[in-house]
Homo-oligomer: A and B are copies of this chain.
């Protein structure tokens, strides 16, 4: 179901936060900001998510016009998810959140994984 937005927001930040609301949309967008991915790749990157939650959140970001589903030009019948132009324009925010989390996790006594690095190492699997 399409998310309902209010007609009026006090400020642009409040609206942007509402578009990204919830725990997983931003994480999914950050992965797709590295490169387009198949469902199975996102599945591997987000092992703690149920299929239902991943599917629902992907539907959310597609419905918000941030992500598009595309047919692969190489593999027959393969589909992948990619940031739309509207999603790409969140690039600074997505990179900024990743960099901030990476830089400050230790000062919070928290450990963070490095999935984007793994992604880059597996660059051969690019679509």
Contacts and interface: CB of A to CB of B under 8 A. Distances in A.
Nearest to A17: B26
Nearest to A89: B100
Contacts of A93: 92-93, 96-97, 100
| This chain: copies in complex | 2
B90 A14 contact: no
Interface in A4-30: 5-19, 21, 23, 26-27, 30
Interface string A88-114: 011011101111111111011111111
Interface of A: 5-19, 21, 23, 26-27, 30, 45-48, 65, 86, 89-90, 92-94, 96-105, 107-116
